[in-house]
């Protein structure tokens, strides 16, 4: 029996490649908006890595609870990086509590790019 194990590096490489692929295709917002998202791939990857590292070393939770916490963190990364901080509740992740004036989430949702990007999480 073969068991497939997904490592962090493999996950992040595929994640970055998929975002870059979507951002290089027309059909999801303006080219400027897609390039803005593409230019933030490294920030998204860094936030993913930070969440993984934090949850891996977190004490006081069993493996299943750590997984749930990590999933919630990962689902919030897109909002966090594009300046919507309503779900940023942990200080290790973010200290902001309100949407920033540069909040791109409504624009990303309007053109369908947000929904497409959320498929990768």
H or E element, residue 22: helix 8-23
* Closest to 75 measured CA to CA, from 119, 116, 16, 39: 119
Q: What is the pLDDT of residue 110?
A: 92
Q: What is the pLDDT of residue 6?
A: 65
Render pLDDT for 36-85 as a digit per residue (tens, 0 to 9): 999 999 998 888 888 888 888 888 888 889 889 888 888 888 888 888 88
pLDDT tops 70 at residue 3: no
Q: What is the pLDDT of residue 32?
A: 92
Give mean pLDDT, residues 15-29: 87
Q: What is the pLDDT of residue 35?
A: 92
Task: Look at 27-31, 87-91, 99-103 and tell me which has the smallest mean pLDDT.
Answer: 99-103
Give the start-to-end residue ranges of the domains of the chain. 9-118
Question: What is this structure's pTM?
Answer: 0.78
Q: Are 85 and 99 spatial neighbours (Cβ–Cβ below 8 Å)?
A: yes
Q: Indicate the average pLDDT of the chain.
A: 84
* Closest to 108 measured CA to CA, from 44, 60, 54, 47: 44
Q: What is the pLDDT of residue 4?
A: 60
Q: What is the pLDDT of residue 92?
A: 75
């Amino acid at each position: 029996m073969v068991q497939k194990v997904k490592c962090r590096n493999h996950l992040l490489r595929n994640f970055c490649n998929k975002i870059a692929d979507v951002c290089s295709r027309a059909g999801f917002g303006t080219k400027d908006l897609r390039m803005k998202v593409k230019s933030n791939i490294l920030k998204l990857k860094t936030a993913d890595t930070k969440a993984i590292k934090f949850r891996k070393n977190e004490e006081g939770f069993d493996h299943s609870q750590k997984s749930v916490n990590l999933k919630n963190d990962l689902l919030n990364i897109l909002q966090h990086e594009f300046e919507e901080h309503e779900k940023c509740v942990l200080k290790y992740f973010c200290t902001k509590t309100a949407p920033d004036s540069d909040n791109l989430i409504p624009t990303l949702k309007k053109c369908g790019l947000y929904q497409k990007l959320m498929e990768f999480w």
